[in-house]
A and B are shown apart, each in its own frame.
Chain A
């Protein structure tokens, strides 16, 4: 059974068509990246999977359920580009927030928060407030929060987009480790080609106006991926393949809008 199933989804905002006839299946334990230039609707697609916005037509299913039911059942965790931590809550209380909403008792919450802090290597920062953390640390807290209730699906919207290259590569490794340890499925929005190739089992290339899927590229790099993966010839081949797919999509877009 597919974890995510998108059937002929179209989304319009007023007169703009953000997504046109999208179809996509994501299997269990896959790591799928959505990549494309600004305006291709990749974040919109992610939000449709999360039922944060509704498609104009078509439908999205998560775990075989309509997206809305999956949201109510708390089947996914989400991470945004900015960490969106609640300033008035400490690190520990930020991670515990979804657990409070799911009515976990205090003892279970405390244990789980500790487990998550260890997972993202932030032990000892429980009682810090978000503004006392660096950008990378904030984003790790945000990931810990998204994973705290063991959702089978993790949605990530350019989570490392605002971080420097070094932090970004370190968090990429950390994310892969967490992904392997938790066995969850990840849908990852990015506009970094190398990040998409390095992390994913499959890269979905999208193109704008209207947003559509222009190519799907399976990434056959061996698991587990390491720092050395980035230096393999196959890695560069795949990066080139994704880049060319992106340019192709971009050119067809140019052709479409170019005056006759």
Chain B
């Protein structure tokens, strides 16, 4: 009875109709954002306002021109491959680095979390430095990481393997923090129940603590998914690796004044890559964590 009373009355139309409604709203908001961009552009250009910055065709290109640039040929004169072909190839390269980095970071982050959660004294000693590790400006350290690792990497991993390590560095942190929190979140009574079965620490970890931690870990993995893409792009920037999105960003930022849409289009693809990684983790979460969604901080 109290359950009914608490539940906010919800319209329970057919699921399909609600789905369509939500999709329509999504498109509507997208259109509104587009309109806002174009309206802002128009107003600032017409009035010549210079605050916060002067709007020109270069500073804020038309949205449709950015998408136009994607399907156009990358070089003027209609020769060579289309921009989207080049960028997709670059995105796949970056995705490879990010995915390897993500896997590496997630596994290491989880292992570190288990270790720190189990030994309180280690947690006291190392956790502050785990947090501090994230303040290292990875961009400026990246070239050195490449120099360190490249000689030790087999040929097939050369260059991009080092970038994957950089991506892993950004990935592991949220996973560690949330693993610790999640492992501690197991219900005390459930723990006592396990003890009553005379289950050892290792069994309790896998049968109880890890399942209890899964929602937390997935919350972190969603953050990490994006972080791994960021790490891969940032890692490419100073390492003079040309094949990925980072290389394209450097390339097009040099030609920004003559072809601004190139950089914008690259960023659209980078955004799409980040969102895809996020959605993949989201889908994995839906499959693995089959429980009522909880609010976890």
Residues of A bordering B, CB below 8 Å: 13-16, 18, 36, 38-44, 47, 53, 81, 157-158, 208, 211
Contacts of A81 in B (CB 8 A): 2
Q: Are B4 and A44 closer than 8 Å at their CB atoms?
A: yes
Please give the distance in Å from B239's CB to the nearest CB on chain A. 48
Q: Which residues of A contact B4 (CB under 8 A)?
A: 13, 16, 18, 39, 41, 44
**Interface flag for B10 (CB, 8 Å):** yes
Please pick, from A14, A15, A47, the residue contacting B5 in the complex, using a CB distance under 8 A. Answer: A47
A169 to B9, CA, bound (A): 36
Q: Complex Cα distance A44/B1, Å?
A: 7
Q: Give min CB distance, A123 to chain B, whole Å.
A: 33
B1 touches A14 (CB 8 A): no
CB contacts between A and B, total, < 8 Å: 34
Query: Per a CB cutoff under 8 Å, which of A14, A43, A208 touches B2?
Result: A43
CB distance from B3 to the nearest CB of A (A): 8
The answer, yes or no, to whether B290 is at the interface (CB within 8 Å) is no
Whether the Cβ atoms of A44 and B12 lie closer than 8 Å is no
The answer to whether A41 and B9 touch across the interface, beta carbons within 8 angstroms, is no
The answer to whether B12 touches A43 (Cβ under 8 A) is no
How many residues on the B side are at the interface (Cβ–Cβ under 8 A)?
Answer: 8
B-side binding surface: helix, strand, loop or mixed?
loop
Since A36-B1, A38-B1, A43-B1 are in contact, a sample of 16 more A-B pairs with Cβ atoms closer than 8 Å, ordered by chain A residue number, is A13-B7, A13-B9, A14-B9, A14-B10, A15-B12, A16-B4, A18-B4, A39-B4, A40-B1, A41-B4, A42-B1, A44-B4, A44-B5, A53-B5, A53-B9, A158-B2
Interface residues of B (CB under 8 A from A): 1-2, 4-5, 7, 9-10, 12
- Would A43 and B5 count as touching, CB distance under 8 A? yes
Task: Report the nearest A residue to B10, measured CB to CB.
Answer: A14
CB distance from B68 to the nearest CB of A (A): 48
A/B interface sample: 28 pairs, CB < 8 A:
A13-B4, A13-B7, A14-B9, A14-B10, A14-B12, A16-B4, A18-B1, A18-B4, A18-B5, A38-B2, A39-B1, A39-B4, A41-B1, A41-B4, A42-B1, A43-B1, A43-B2, A43-B5, A44-B1, A44-B4, A44-B5, A53-B5, A53-B9, A81-B2, A157-B2, A158-B2, A208-B1, A211-B1
In the complex, what residue of chain B is closest to A41 when comparing beta carbons?
B1
Q: How far is the CA of A36 from the CA of B10 in the complex (A)?
A: 25
Q: How far is the CA of A15 from the CA of B4 in the complex (A)?
A: 12
